[in-house]
Structure 1
Amino acid sequence: MRYSPISRFKGTLLGAFLGESLASSGEIQFQSHLNFGKMAVLGIQSLIVSGRLDLDDWIERQQQESLHLAATDDISIKIIISTLPVALFFHENPIKLRQNLLRVLKIWEDDPVVRDGTLAVGYAIALALTEKLDPLTLIPQTISFLGETPTSIPKNLLRVHNLLEQGAGLSRAQAEFAREEKLSNTIAMAFYCFLSTLEDFRLTVLRATHNDNSQVQDATPLSSQATGVITGALSGAYNGTGGIPVNWQVLLLQRNSPAWGLTSFSQMLELTDAFVAVWSGMYDLTLNSRELTEEGYEVAPLSVYAAPRVIRSR
């Protein structure tokens, strides 16, 4: 395996966070008013506690935090980013992946474009985590995964595929997709930026958030951040934390600012560690200390690993 699962899990979430945080100038903004991933954090917390997808628990957590998605321009992107924990948790099985992504979407409005965008991003992330992502076949496979649909997402993804085959540059892609702020165009640009610079996370997200081209001078910060957050998640899943610039990671740790509703960036990393532990089926001995006592002596704590969901907390 090229990268460990924990590296790819963290890469997905850290990549999305950086994609949202990068300004068009290439500098990291630590205070983003959009908070695309706040609801994703609640989803991770629910999966950790429940060990499964519990829609009632997701809804209850959102209500407790008074998180209600109003009809704003960023609602569709927030929904897609909110489903990232489900894509990570069920990435090994395409059937369960599709079923659970569709289940969690029932929490919000039933928008076909949001549905297709969620399935496309989730499927690409699943292929990256299972190391089955082939840049030459990703888009045809994704279109097949979407199935029959009336939305423009398959058509736009096919346009991306053709642009990549022709070796088209960023300016041409932006001219194709940035004229209107439609979710399907945002998804298309994210796939273009991801696949055109597959092995370079830094360049990928910088291109995704770049909007100085004269043909797209009317692009808004929302459009830039929306493309950046999806592109960052895709590239982070593929390249893992090892592909994310060290100076960016150090900067985030040094500032340790609040992230996606959490009190600090470090808390976000700790939450991801716990998330991977639950997904993997790791037996957490620290939660069962009584079992470590034998004839009055403490047995040294050990970490036990197994295939996903084989070993569970008792």
Structure 2
Amino acid sequence: MQDSLINRFRGAFWGMGLGESLTVSSSLAAIPSPPASWSLQVLNATQVWLGELDLTADVTDPSSSCQMPSNLPSNLLPVALLYHDQPQQLQQVLRESQSSELGLDAAILGQIISLILRERFVPSELILQVARDLDLALDLPLVQKLLQVQIWLTQPTDLAVVMQALRAVDPADFTLVVALYSFLSSPDSLRISLLRLHRMIGAMATKPQPFNLGIAGAVLGILSGLYNGIGELDMELGTRLPIDLQAGELRLLQFVDRLFMQWSGQWSGASFDPNFNQGLQQPHLGLVAAPRVIRRS
């Protein structure tokens, strides 16, 4: 493992904000993106999961605040982090928390997150491993496209050929396919992965393609942050979060730390002070348990 688990949790959220911000703030933002930030939706879903925000709207349903051809729910990241060490329960919780059928892309992304955090991430075998773990038929269209991605990476392919093939990808699957290809091409560098994403999408911008550019950048950032940890992201890209997230940088990390505390079993049983990270700064916290002992029901 290249970094501590808590720094990987932090890296996932930090990378999400960076990836979305640096993608939609570029010249490629001419491709329509929803007015609401997906990263902020994920933070809202995390607060709901921690019991710190009343569920007054269906924040787990991405279609509730912006229309996009993506099946990735906003609660996927907190759920995947909380249950990364229980992959079967992870899939069950994802299914049960959705108002509609869980998309295959969400199930696959959740499993990839689990593999990275459990140190079972092998880039050259990733798609076959995910298909085996989730018992997916290899002839499913999305699985076929992701297997093609793996072939491109193991057998270096001209980017023009890759982009031509990507034009035929179903819009509902495009976000995951292009984000995963960009990440797996350079897993050690979010900056290089984002440049690859920019180049591919920029070349396709003249062709109508109803997918969400910001979510593609966010998913790429999540994967890179999980793999490298927050320290590598800070050194490589600094803290260039979107303005609406900059005001709450400390609060962002507090959410993540509380999520980590819930996973680890370190939980006070009382409401958290929103201005102070009790769990990680007060060693006398009253309750400590092994992972999985304490779980939100």
TM value normalised by structure 1: 0.75
Describe the superposition over 1:237-270 as per-residue Cα deviations: whole angstroms up to 9, x where unpaired.
1111122143644344xx8x323xx962332121
- Match in the other structure for 1:45: 47
Larger of the two Rg values belongs to structure: 1
Describe the superposition over 1:75-123 as per-residue Cα deviations: whole angstroms up to 9, x where unpaired.
525x334311111110001111111122123x2x33xxx6110011111
CA distance 1:133–1:228, change in 2 (3 Å): same
Aligned mates of 2:140, 2:290 — CA distance in 1: 38
Aligned mates of 2:189, 2:113 — CA distance in 1: 16
Residue aligned with 2:35, SS: coil
Q: Confirm whether residue 84 of structure 1 aligns to residue 63 of structure 2.
A: no
- Match in the other structure for 1:35: 37
How much has 1:215 moved relative to structure 2?
5.2
Structure 2, unpaired ranges of 5+? 273-281
Relative contact order higher in (CA < 8 Å, ≥ 6 apart): 2
Describe the superposition over 1:112-154 as per-residue Cα deviations: whole angstroms up to 9, x where unpaired.
xx61100111111111111110111111011223434685211
Contact map agreement 1:15 1:235 (CA 8 A) in 2: yes
Contact map agreement 1:48 1:275 (CA 8 A) in 2: yes
CA distance 1:14–1:143, change in 2 (3 Å): same
- Match in the other structure for 1:184: 173
Q: Confirm whether residue 144 of structure 1 aligns to residue 132 of structure 2.
A: yes
131-140 vs 33-42, greater mean Cα deviation: 33-42
CA distance 1:34–1:8, change in 2 (3 Å): same
Aligned mates of 2:63, 2:203 — CA distance in 1: 33
- Match in the other structure for 1:19: 19
Describe the superposition over 1:33-80 as per-residue Cα deviations: whole angstroms up to 9, x where unpaired.
231133322321232239xxxxxx98x3425x8x88259652525x33
How much has 1:216 moved relative to structure 2?
5.0
- Match in the other structure for 2:256: 272
Q: CA RMSD in A?
A: 3.7
Contact map agreement 2:265 2:290 (CA 8 A) in 1: yes
CA distance 1:146–1:154, change in 2 (3 Å): farther
Residue aligned with 1:282, SS: coil
State how many pairs are aligned: 282
Aligned mates of 1:121, 1:45 — CA distance in 2: 21
Contact map agreement 2:23 2:194 (CA 8 A) in 1: no
Q: Confirm whether residue 239 of structure 1 aligns to residue 228 of structure 2.
A: yes
Sequence identity percentage? 26
Aligned mates of 1:195, 1:251 — CA distance in 2: 23
Q: Confirm whether residue 197 of structure 1 aligns to residue 186 of structure 2.
A: yes
TM value normalised by structure 2: 0.78
Residue aligned with 2:227, SS: helix
Aligned mates of 2:27, 2:231 — CA distance in 1: 20
Residue aligned with 1:136, SS: helix
- Match in the other structure for 1:292: none
CA distance 1:40–1:72, change in 2 (3 Å): closer
Aligned mates of 1:47, 1:72 — CA distance in 2: 21
CA distance 1:85–1:170, change in 2 (3 Å): farther
- Match in the other structure for 1:133: 121
Q: Confirm whether residue 258 of structure 1 aligns to residue 251 of structure 2.
A: no
- Match in the other structure for 1:9: 9
Where has structure 1 moved over 6 Å in runs of 4 or more?
A: 285-288
- Match in the other structure for 2:93: 100
